[in-house]
Structure 1
């Protein structure tokens, strides 16, 4: 193996350690705000002199027209390119700025970034050259990221005869100071080197090491570009020799070696057509910005590759092309640190759990059809295959391994979902079960302030759906009787934590139902309600659960779990019970012979690490007690959720994330929890069908009166009757079976009653009868 081959192989191993199979790009539109520049770089065709009749700057209307064309083409980034401080050289630039109402080019740039941020869905990325602290800070408020190419740290290039002679903004110390200031100000920053402009390899290494030192200090360098010089006509370097492919590969590999596995290293694909596999071999993990709308204004002679072609060629190298935002995933996952508030809101809403751009417009609760996965890779990743095999064999995976499964895309995604479905077949066969039940939400008044909840009401929740209510016991009994008449075997009771409720209230609800319908199974009271009820009676939780069981409680729902990770709970429900308390209530219930369900609510602020911790907490408790009947993934419905309305959350999981949650749960929880349920309310019937082919074996309940998800904004119905349930199950070649809460088949009388159910009578929402806490 040659020295270069060895260097590249080592770089590729480093890259794979940090980025796995993913190669990213940004779907962007280029906005050349001005071609004027005070510098005179000897290789540049972007910079122009003022021309009579040609505006010195794009107008706001021009900027918006380009941005909107990008938005229509599915772009997520608006890259502003421009020359350095042209007003310091050209009177025409100064006059134009006066007419635009701005003192400097960067002031106008800041206004245009703000315009694009306000008027389009794009994220601005600003690349204006050397800046002051104040300019960087102002741009940070209206852009997702910024950048400046270091190009080189060679002072020689600024001397007479060098390519940067006569270009004051190209002095290395000046550019390094801009990069340093961006680090101090917590700006996700792009930089890089330009090779083949007269520098020596030792000087390239020095430039890369200078970048590495700044990143080690501030952690803000989000990508490093290795750009190869291309000779252009009508420049002083028109006849200069361009760096050859080996030189480019050496530099990319060296950059990876110096900057490490996690750095994003990019080489523009349009400057190296036909050799993409070699660039990947050298350690690249990003193709940079690729525009379906505008040319590369810096290298107009080099057209962009088609994105589909880039995806195909990436797949030939065993890589999955993924669209990123203008800010890279590690910064997306910490928006409060790295982004201004208004930008952070936009980024959260545009990103998935890993920090990449969302893949589609689907969201839990909406009626968009589920997107079909695109499969380009020919072979499954060996590491993914090994993890799937171990999990299918019942081995306990650790959090990083589970995170790898959650991150699976392309054929790896199909392998995980397919393996989960095969495991479902081995455990449950072709039977898909469902229960005929009715939701009874006895009150929507709650003194807790969970930031995801659009159901609870009070004096501070008047802008959300519905009015506060507190059901009379007579209405609870009436609904239970009606549910029984319609074939139900279960009523599921949950509500807000009413400030006037005590443990006796919960007991009275159970006794009322049992008195009205002795045969009805009561599935009721989350661990939060149990904890609150026990506290009001000053009774230990096991004793209170025993009281509820004596009053008729049959099983407990596993809600109020949200995410069993206290770092996440501190954000979404800081006043709620913590992870240990939730698990303790479940443990106590199991010891008393009360079975419970388990749930997760995902797709808001958490990461896949939290998902992994959650699944392992459930698995470990199930191994200890055996008390869980099922696991129910509940994707976050964002529409009316307060934390989404306030810009503090994502818009639920992507469809890929929603489906793979069911698959990974099947694998990770095996063999402890055998039933994986999908929520038709949140996934929709079509999405639920896909989950039933990806590891789930249960369709949940018919519900009759679903209101919690409806309050959050789901557009799916309030009831999914048995004939519709069974039609859906038959449509995927499975066998439907009506079950009770404990997964036993129901008798023929109950089943027959469920198929001839009359329409529901109008519900009565009893107004609050007591003072409600604000």
Structure 2
């Protein structure tokens, strides 16, 4: 097989064997190799080239090794401390934090105390016996004092070292550099450096895998190794990653001669040699592997590095120099962004923990480090780009809000375009396609929002509906232990908002009559699962509502309440729903869904009904003639694939029963949620993710669910205006008494008047329509009553204010 044939026929997910890689060692024309590597990179990483914004902390520049190309390590110098003090470390970290860094990169020499007395003496004065012990202390100090995520490069480690460093670092690393034993012999670059023995370095990387430490490694080219030895070094790393999955990135670093070293006169590898090695690394590893080349070591060749298959630039510091390569300053982030754009890619910031590992913190991150990580990431493991959170009265992030509509034309050649065309054509999207839409950023984000808005216009026109409703939460006492819920009150009730309550049927009836007098066509009733409740309680509630106002539409009881009610009566779900229907229940809210994936539910709401049970209750209800809503509560411990599976399960049930009236995304409000207060979740979805949930739902559920609703309680008036440009055609209910989101810390109020609803809708260039629960027009008499009641309430409030002022 010729080189050209091999490269042209190489499957995007098939890796080069050793024999195939060796056949490319003497390749005369490397362009086909680079093209194959670029195709492989694009298939997994798309248009993104990432970097980490870091601050460089050189804890000590003493080292027991004598690598003959290194200027970072040096012998003790008169008047110079062997180690940075704690105060110096924190000062450097603080400067990095002020400059927007999220990573604290600790670089140090290997075990200098084994060679230098000054290192031993200073360590003792610092209260430590070893460099690694001091490293663990200061990494923990930086984490606690600044919130920066430590990445440590500490050299060779034992199991005990990993056990000490994992709780204080988000990731670790060691360059294998080369597995060639020749380089450790006399005259080799690593002669006299015991920590550079290949077997020892590979052993440390193996132990990292055993301890589930996300790890960085790579090779250094041009120090005397052959291309065959480079291939063997890469294959050794591949074998370790195959065993443990812990290697986050492979760095292909090019040697640069430095004055004052024994290798000062050795020529640096030519650019083409560097490009060849990058491409080989890309083809040896799986497509998802992150291949990195430091940008400061190849000035003028950044575009070529991208074309060779890299997808990452490594850490770039706006504060500190590259202490390992001080002669090569970091490019400014703006310059790096421009160079990346010139190569046809988009620069994106990442953390020291790459997204693929950040998505699985329970496996890869020590419990002590998870809260700082959760606070920094979105559901895909990328850094949050602003401080906006659902439920909080924060201003919208300007850049993200502006990109919903966008002002520039969106290229038809975006990578999401085929998925959008498929959705617009009414074809079912698969999980991977829906996940890809959730990953949309920049122009792709705008393209998804525009497609959803176009689809909304064709399906719903320019009318936006809302319903006048009253929420009646009849009890906040609950024996379930949902980790996201700040509404229910159990043993810790006094630590949460509000007092426990269980309102009587007379009060339920009073609130129903008051709602009717204020123009409500619906009461929405849900509550905690009180330990004394049985299915009879829910039947009593139905009777109380029907007796109070026979015409009132009763929208009540989540699948959890239905399931629990049937179980406590010892009857089937179908039998209980039949009784509820006879008692006056009209429709069901699709809450208690949270995320319809049991991987999430096992941690978020382990004692609640599972995915299959939720779907079965809804299937049964729809078969009995009930209509219901469908919801998703997202942005906590979930990932994009969970969102996709949720949408697919809702879509599939709708195709089977046709019973869902609308889909309602509910962004997680974190402020008072137990799971967040325990440091075990993210602070809700980002603004971009919140908008995308509505847009992607419109596309993924088309044509089966035609109403997409936005929650003003979670998003606020400005947020729902943005959603109206991203596929939303309904603003839900006026609520009157909203308490569940408020208990979680939401600050957008507990009632929205019809006038305010219509003002928001008109300010978005749309036409308001007051509806009933089933999307028919609200009766004219009720609409007029709702508007009049709101005006009277506002007038009474104004009078009260004036009277108070006059006193």
Pairwise same-fold verdict (TM > 0.5):
yes
Could you tell me which runs of 5 or more consecutive residues in structure 1 were left unpaired when the two chains were aligned: 763-774
Deviates more, 1:157-166 or 1:266-275: 157-166
Partner secondary structure for residue 465 of structure 2: strand
What TM-score, normalized to structure 1?
0.96
| Residue 101 of structure 1: how far off its partner (Å) | 0.8
Aligned position for 2:13: none
2:628 corresponds to 1:628: no
Aligned position for 1:259: 285
Measured in 2, the distance between the counterparts of 1:316 and 1:660 equals 28
Aligned position for 1:580: 612
Measured in 2, the distance between the counterparts of 1:490 and 1:315 equals 53
Measured in 1, the distance between the counterparts of 2:752 and 2:339 equals 45
Give the conservation status (yes or no) of the 8 Å contact 1:406–1:664. Answer: yes
Partner secondary structure for residue 168 of structure 2: coil
Aligned position for 2:508: 476
| Residue 740 of structure 1: how far off its partner (Å) | 1.0
List aligned pairs for 1:314-329, cutoff 5 A: 314-329=340-355
Measured in 2, the distance between the counterparts of 1:252 and 1:281 equals 10
Give the conservation status (yes or no) of the 8 Å contact 1:315–1:377. Answer: no
Aligned position for 1:93: 119
Partner secondary structure for residue 273 of structure 1: coil
Aligned position for 2:77: 51
When residues 378 and 630 of structure 1 are mapped into structure 2, their CA distance, relative to the original with a 3 A threshold, is closer
CA deviation vs aligned residue, 1:186-208 (integer Å, no higher than 9, x gap): 11111111111121111111111
Aligned position for 2:25: none
2:541 corresponds to 1:509: yes
Aligned match for 1:221, one of 240, 244, 247: 247
Measured in 1, the distance between the counterparts of 2:507 and 2:338 equals 60
| Residue 382 of structure 1: how far off its partner (Å) | 4.8
2:94 corresponds to 1:64: no
Partner secondary structure for residue 30 of structure 2: helix
Give the conservation status (yes or no) of the 8 Å contact 2:410–2:446. Answer: no
Measured in 2, the distance between the counterparts of 1:310 and 1:748 equals 61
| Residue 16 of structure 1: how far off its partner (Å) | 2.1
Aligned position for 1:281: 307
Aligned position for 2:439: 407
Aligned position for 1:705: 737
Give the conservation status (yes or no) of the 8 Å contact 2:539–2:583. Answer: yes
Aligned match for 2:381, one of 355, 358, 371: 355
| Residue 317 of structure 1: how far off its partner (Å) | 3.3
Measured in 2, the distance between the counterparts of 1:603 and 1:359 equals 15
| Residue 3 of structure 1: how far off its partner (Å) | 3.3
| Residue 514 of structure 1: how far off its partner (Å) | 2.1
CA deviation vs aligned residue, 1:205-231 (integer Å, no higher than 9, x gap): 111111111111222111111111112
Aligned position for 1:234: 260
Aligned position for 2:499: 467
2:195 corresponds to 1:169: yes
What TM-score, normalized to structure 2?
0.92
Measured in 2, the distance between the counterparts of 1:56 and 1:670 equals 65
| Residue 364 of structure 1: how far off its partner (Å) | 1.1
Aligned position for 1:532: 564
Deviation beyond 3 Å, 4+ runs, structure 1: 315-318, 374-383, 758-762
Aligned position for 2:589: 557
Partner secondary structure for residue 630 of structure 1: strand
Aligned match for 1:337, one of 363, 382, 386: 363
| Residue 742 of structure 1: how far off its partner (Å) | 1.0
| Residue 383 of structure 1: how far off its partner (Å) | 4.2
| Residue 148 of structure 1: how far off its partner (Å) | 0.8
Aligned position for 1:24: 50
Give the conservation status (yes or no) of the 8 Å contact 2:493–2:500. Answer: no
Measured in 2, the distance between the counterparts of 1:559 and 1:321 equals 39
Give the conservation status (yes or no) of the 8 Å contact 2:414–2:444. Answer: no
Partner secondary structure for residue 495 of structure 2: coil
Measured in 2, the distance between the counterparts of 1:687 and 1:112 equals 42
| Residue 79 of structure 1: how far off its partner (Å) | 0.3
Measured in 1, the distance between the counterparts of 2:454 and 2:230 equals 52
Measured in 1, the distance between the counterparts of 2:409 and 2:203 equals 43
Measured in 2, the distance between the counterparts of 1:378 and 1:99 equals 61
Give the conservation status (yes or no) of the 8 Å contact 1:381–1:412. Answer: no
2:734 corresponds to 1:664: no
Aligned position for 1:771: none
Give the conservation status (yes or no) of the 8 Å contact 1:320–1:409. Answer: no
Give the conservation status (yes or no) of the 8 Å contact 1:603–1:653. Answer: yes
Measured in 2, the distance between the counterparts of 1:585 and 1:178 equals 52
Partner secondary structure for residue 450 of structure 1: coil
| Residue 342 of structure 1: how far off its partner (Å) | 0.7
Partner secondary structure for residue 438 of structure 1: strand
2:782 corresponds to 1:750: yes
Measured in 2, the distance between the counterparts of 1:310 and 1:489 equals 58
2:37 corresponds to 1:5: no
2:322 corresponds to 1:296: yes
Measured in 2, the distance between the counterparts of 1:147 and 1:61 equals 25
Could you tell me which runs of 5 or more consecutive residues in structure 2 were left unpaired when the two chains were aligned: 5-27, 798-807
Partner secondary structure for residue 57 of structure 2: strand
When residues 262 and 377 of structure 1 are mapped into structure 2, their CA distance, relative to the original with a 3 A threshold, is farther
| Residue 386 of structure 1: how far off its partner (Å) | 0.9
Measured in 1, the distance between the counterparts of 2:245 and 2:729 equals 45
CA deviation vs aligned residue, 1:659-704 (integer Å, no higher than 9, x gap): 1111110001001000000011111211111111001111111111
Give the conservation status (yes or no) of the 8 Å contact 2:410–2:447. Answer: no
| Residue 378 of structure 1: how far off its partner (Å) | 7.0
Give the conservation status (yes or no) of the 8 Å contact 2:493–2:499. Answer: no
